[in-house]
Structure 1
Amino acid sequence: MPHATPKDLMLAAAAALLAALLLEPRLVPGTAGQIVGSFLPWLLAPTVLLAAVAVGTGSKIGTAAVVPPIAAWSVLFVPQLVERPDTATTTPAFRVATQNLGTAGTAAELTDAAVISVQELTDRNRPSVAAALDPRHPHVATVGTIGLWSRYPLHDIERLDLGQGWARALRARIELPAGEATVYAVHLGSIRLGETAARDRTLHTLTDLVRRDPSTRLLVLGDLNTASTDPALTPLTQTLHDVRTGLAFTWPAPFPLTNPDHILTRGFTPLDATVRRTPGTDHRAPTATLAPTPHPPR
């Protein structure tokens, strides 16, 4: 075994840290750990850099040490990059989308979707959003800054306060061609450096509602202010399927680094999924084509 130099030990320690963070980002306490979890795929960059340094300096110990973080990253993310949706279905498919409108988004680029959830709907952008979506989506539900536009009838529309003190979410029953489903349009609490209490509280409430919801077909569309790789989201994604293709980053729009915007499903088969760049907002919009499963389990 080669003699370990200080350089070897530093490389090995850095590699061990990267592997540990990839496998368990909650090792970093508080908000910092959640930030690491939200940007977890980007740990590939320091991992590759570390490997280059180890190989370039001829450190056999460093080169061997970088194998675990590379393996951990591959196990976590390569399946997402190569996964292809199931295209076999016997039920009518439809397209859904979710868009954080920002200050000037209109969702006009999403009119091919049959069901569209929007967040940050305001008096300023509401007229342009309605003008873009109303002609092809006659069924509309709005609660505060949340909007839901649909080509299919909406019933039993319910305002939801997820723990913010005001309603920033709604639940509705939707009549799809293949049968009824429940849809949640949501915008969870904001997350700021050193402050995740509002997001955590609203995420916990939403997770509890979904777990207790008896619907066999269910959609959650919206800005959850947390990424798929954040362990905070795990209790919800244990109940629902996170529909994405690849890493599907949505924020910030010019150069996305993480994915706070989600399409989550139960009782549906995803046929495709993508992320679209739309003007006037700092969020890209996830979209997906879904087919209701003929006999969804509960």
Structure 2
Amino acid sequence: MFPTVHHRTATVNGLDVFYREAGDPKAPAVVLLHGFPTSSHMFRNLIPALADRYHVIAPDHIGFGQSAMPALQDFPYTFDALAEVTSGLLQHLGIGRFATYVQDYGAPIAWRLALQTPERITAIITQNGNAYEEGLVKSFWDGLFAYAAAPGPDTEAPMRAALSPEVTRWQYVNGVADPSLVSPDNWVHDQALLDRPGNDEIQLKLFRDYPTNVELYPAVHQYFRDSQVPLLAVWGAGDELFGPDGATAFRQDLPDAEIHLLESGHFALESHLEAITQYIRDFLAQVLA
């Protein structure tokens, strides 16, 4: 029987948080955390592929997808704040211990949760979810760090370009061996949400806050060393935002990490759903047994 996926909204800290949920609530929990510029929409096919065995929850971060998008003056739009809302949602749902799948922005949100309560994280699946400077491809990140250090018209222009339809599409097809496997619905959907009035300022605010994630890396590495949390990296090797060196770097602190480099890009689920699903199922069956 094909698992049923529910589309729900909870109130966390006075904000509407949309999430997708499937599977038996008594089963081991797996929390899927999306990245920029998408939403839990990126997990629409993965959720039913895991829900026969796991309780799967995939929220939209504040300012993304179907979750609330308060104005800048009403919400801080920092990664600390996004992590706080995620933690509040999990508390609301009664989720104690959980495995997490992280991609892009989902990674620094999960790292904050892990640093707060490391005993809750049963396993990590990272799909182009970075934790090492080795994974930062300079051509993009130098521009973001310049903007964060000195916001102004000159440094802001390249960051505004990152919100354009051309760059949104590029994130999906760049590095993918067979781009015909990637549905254009993805970037059309994401761009429509990016183009909402005021969302550009939200994304720019998060760009300016991104260096706090890199500042957190030493603490995250210590968490890895102390916990030896089981980790699976399924990584689009052609990603020009978070390069494959970011995947292999996990072995610096987690020597038993399982790492697979795929002929794909930033959104590897779109071209390698079947392979990634099988890696995840095999990995979780072993480490959560």
The alignment's TM-score, normalised by the length of structure 1, stands at 0.30
* Structure whose residues are more often strand by fraction: 1
Larger radius of gyration: 1
The alignment's TM-score, normalised by the length of structure 2, stands at 0.30
* Structure whose residues are more often helix by fraction: 2
